[in-house]
Chain A
């Protein structure tokens, strides 16, 4: 089955004060139709930049090399009109902060209908009724009234639902959700995740879920990809990743999450040091300075990502035993 999205050897460099900063290096990723892939990483991991490159939303001083193929089309070399036909319709994105991703002075209904008018060429009236039906599908109560409201009149969770609705209007093949629940309360978070799950089951759309929160990703993803310092360090089926992480970083990340289970601790588990800033990467493995298993080889030789997308892959000289 051909992949919906295929990323090959993606490198993203930023020009800053005359020097090139490598934000993303050699990322290879394939997303099958209807698959949900979680991308997990902390600051400097480059997880958002990979998909900003796919959407053509990189900053002016960024340059991407490699290949990103969406339904066979090479996105990195697409011209503006062609890119605009694809994004917003077949390939859509949901951003982190619903407060700033909706236009404040336009009604919800207008913003939603606009998508259909531009991409599907529908007349306004039809577009508005389709939009209303979509609002219902994302479980917004009283959708008729909501259509006439402005973004500031809705709560954060509702705004995010509107964003989800907007991303589904044209029946996309892939939806990229960048930290969709980070700005929301825990109780609302759970509902949004539930909604995304229902949407997936209904429409079979593929989903990329980017988050720093493993817990959020665990509830939805079939497969999880862990990124650190601009590279993929581990990729595995969700159950497998939690049950037996192979990369020390993944294991440490899991260990550091405070949980409600188990006895309260006098000291929290933590990882020494901090994620390296892009442009200040050490020789060898980027995680070596913080890795409890680091050896000489790790500091001089960078580990390659070995394995397959089905069985799982890991980039480590001394992966944890299976």
Chain B
């Protein structure tokens, strides 16, 4: 078993009095794609930013190749940024509207390879633009001249131009049309394979995550509730939230047999959720008194499959959420 590239322990981010993410632990290995599934308010974007120290984490450690990113000096952190990159959800706001596309892609090069001549820069930028499916001649244009999908390609070009070891993708295709989502995802997979980059793929779209990931994390209201190998998770999800997610998907393939809607109660906003106890207790159909008082630990049910549920060891309860 090789050493993980990224080792996150006890990560917590507070927004005022309440914790947006709490007690987050996971590992990420070289070359793997780790899927992170969660809905709005789950804290997945907060987690992405906290990992790169774009947000202040109140507790925990993020060990990147042995060094804790959260305690590095500003200069040392900047040096590490070469290997850690991020692609954002909204392609239009993630590009500087007043900077040409070529300059945007060139920026990481200017920072980390200052010896490159102007010509060298131009060549590298051109190469990268071609690599992401655009043309080198577009370098002088501005973001507003491109479509959403093209802007996302530019964002990916910027992130991958230095061939980082880790790429965090925060809902990279959620703002895009369905017919081009596949293009962007396939591009990411190609670039990842090329550069040997590990990827943390964050999405609320379970089906998408299924195609991409080796392993999957499920996050709910700031806590990781399930971790498993991809196939194991989709064949036999254990945590009630994961199962609700899967049954709630209005899959086009199931139009013929209408999917029964998950009969979950309305979710509580994270700020109102107080006290110890499982974050899912308000909505869980299998809730027990112990769920109100004690936080379930993320424990191993089967090797490689960890679940944070007091009832995870019970024989898999047939799923029936009557509306």
Expressed in whole angstroms, the minimum distance between the Cβ of B152 and any Cβ of chain A is 11
Using A186-B204, A186-B245, A214-B252 as known contacts, say yes or no to A271 and B179 having CB atoms under 8 A apart.
yes
| CB atoms of B262 and A265 under 8 A apart | no
| CB atoms of B256 and A267 under 8 A apart | no
Query: Which residues from A are CB-within-8-Å of B230?
Result: 264
| CB atoms of B259 and A190 under 8 A apart | yes
B118 interface residue per 8 A CB criterion:
no
| CB atoms of B266 and A212 under 8 A apart | no
Query: Which residues from A are CB-within-8-Å of B231?
Result: 264
Query: Which residues from B are CB-within-8-Å of A218?
Result: 250, 252, 255
A243 closest partner in B (C-beta): B256
B234 interface residue per 8 A CB criterion:
yes
Using A218-B250, A260-B246, A274-B149 as known contacts, say yes or no to A185 and B178 having CB atoms under 8 A apart.
no
B191 interface residue per 8 A CB criterion:
no
| CB atoms of B179 and A275 under 8 A apart | yes
Q: How far is the CA of A260 from the CA of B233 in the complex (A)?
A: 12
Q: How far is the CA of A159 from the CA of B181 in the complex (A)?
A: 29
B255 closest partner in A (C-beta): A218
Query: Which residues from A are CB-within-8-Å of B246?
Result: 260
> How big is chain B's contact interface, by range?
35 or more
| CB atoms of A190 and B262 under 8 A apart | yes
Query: Which residues from B are CB-within-8-Å of A275?
Result: 177, 179-180
B97 interface residue per 8 A CB criterion:
no
Find residues 197-212 in chain B having any chain A CB closer than 8 Å to their own CB.
204-208, 210-211
A256 interface residue per 8 A CB criterion:
yes
B52 interface residue per 8 A CB criterion:
no
Expressed in whole angstroms, the minimum distance between the Cβ of A287 and any Cβ of chain B is 10
With beta carbons under 8 angstroms apart, the residue of B39, B182, B256 that contacts A270 is B182
Q: How far is the CA of A62 from the CA of B147 in the complex (A)?
A: 22
| CB atoms of B255 and A238 under 8 A apart | yes
Query: Which residues from B are CB-within-8-Å of A243?
Result: 256
Among listed A14-22, A150-158, A170-178, interface-contacting one: A150-158
B133 closest partner in A (C-beta): A272
A42 interface residue per 8 A CB criterion:
yes
Count of A-B residue pairs with CB < 8 Å: 147
Q: How far is the CA of A185 from the CA of B219 in the complex (A)?
A: 14
Q: How far is the CA of A272 from the CA of B149 in the complex (A)?
A: 11
Using A43-B148, A187-B262, A219-B258 as known contacts, say yes or no to A260 and B252 having CB atoms under 8 A apart.
no
| CB atoms of B261 and A194 under 8 A apart | yes
B269 interface residue per 8 A CB criterion:
yes
| CB atoms of B178 and A253 under 8 A apart | yes
B249 interface residue per 8 A CB criterion:
yes
A260-290 CB mask vs B (1 if < 8 Å, else 0) is 1100111111111011010000000000001
Query: Which residues from B are CB-within-8-Å of A32?
Result: none
A242 interface residue per 8 A CB criterion:
yes
With beta carbons under 8 angstroms apart, the residue of A188, A189, A252, A270 that contacts B267 is A188
Using A43-B177, A219-B250, A242-B256 as known contacts, say yes or no to A193 and B207 having CB atoms under 8 A apart.
no
Query: Which residues from A are CB-within-8-Å of B234?
Result: 260
B179 closest partner in A (C-beta): A271
| CB atoms of A259 and B251 under 8 A apart | yes
B40 interface residue per 8 A CB criterion:
yes
Find residues 38-68 in chain A having any chain B CB closer than 8 Å to their own CB.
42-43
Query: Which residues from B are CB-within-8-Å of A216?
Result: 250
| Best-surrounded residue of A42, A191, A242, A265 (most CB of chain B within 10 A) | A191
| CB atoms of B245 and A187 under 8 A apart | yes
| CB atoms of B259 and A219 under 8 A apart | yes
Query: Which residues from B are CB-within-8-Å of A320?
Result: none
Q: How far is the CA of A218 from the CA of B249 in the complex (A)?
A: 12
| CB atoms of A271 and B211 under 8 A apart | no
| CB atoms of B248 and A189 under 8 A apart | yes
A192-204 CB mask vs B (1 if < 8 Å, else 0) is 0110000000000
Q: Which 4 A-B pairs have the closest CB atoms?
A: A270-B182, A190-B261, A268-B182, A218-B255
Other A-B contacts than A187-B248, A191-B263, 20 sampled, CB-CB below 8 A, are: A43-B148, A43-B177, A155-B266, A156-B40, A187-B39, A187-B264, A188-B267, A190-B261, A190-B262, A215-B249, A215-B250, A242-B255, A258-B210, A259-B253, A260-B251, A268-B186, A268-B208, A271-B180, A274-B149, A274-B177
